[in-house]
Amino acid sequence: MGLGMQIAYLGFTGSGAIEREAGIELLRLADVASDVVDCKLTIKASPDMDGRTVFDAQLVLLTRAAGPLTAQCSTETDASAAMHHAFDDAIRLLSHRRPPGAI
């Protein structure tokens, strides 16, 4: 059984395009996510100081060994770019941690 993901959209309605891109990002994550048991992506739309819509994307991964790992929140004017950067940070976090059981 593969790694699943829950997506929460706050302040806007999600789209099929965003969900497809999230699925592609999840495949990238799966390469380094051997002990990840749950993945939660939150994308929030809100106005910036100039009134333009910006998107905050944050990823929380639940691992067997280390418990929850939270990727750095990414803010961009494009939801896909924010999501991509959140997954980049999650991959960096997973790649640079010690393997489960290592001393």
pLDDT tens per residue across all 103 residues of the chain: 468 899 999 999 999 999 999 999 999 888 888 888 899 999 999 999 999 999 999 999 998 887 899 999 999 999 999 999 999 999 999 888 765 555 5
pLDDT value for 31: 83
Compute the CA torsion angle 16, 18, 20, 25 (nearest 10 deg): -170
pLDDT value for 1: 47
DSSP assigned state of 99:
P
CATH of 6-95, one of 3.30.160.100, 3.40.50.2300, 3.30.479.10, 3.40.50.720: 3.30.160.100
The model's pTM: 0.87
Question: Domain limits of the chain?
Answer: 6-95
pLDDT value for 99: 57
**Helix ranges restricted to H, 1-103:** 16-30, 79-95
Tokens standing for residue 55: 């998107």
pLDDT value for 95: 86
Tokens standing for residue 40: 């939660």
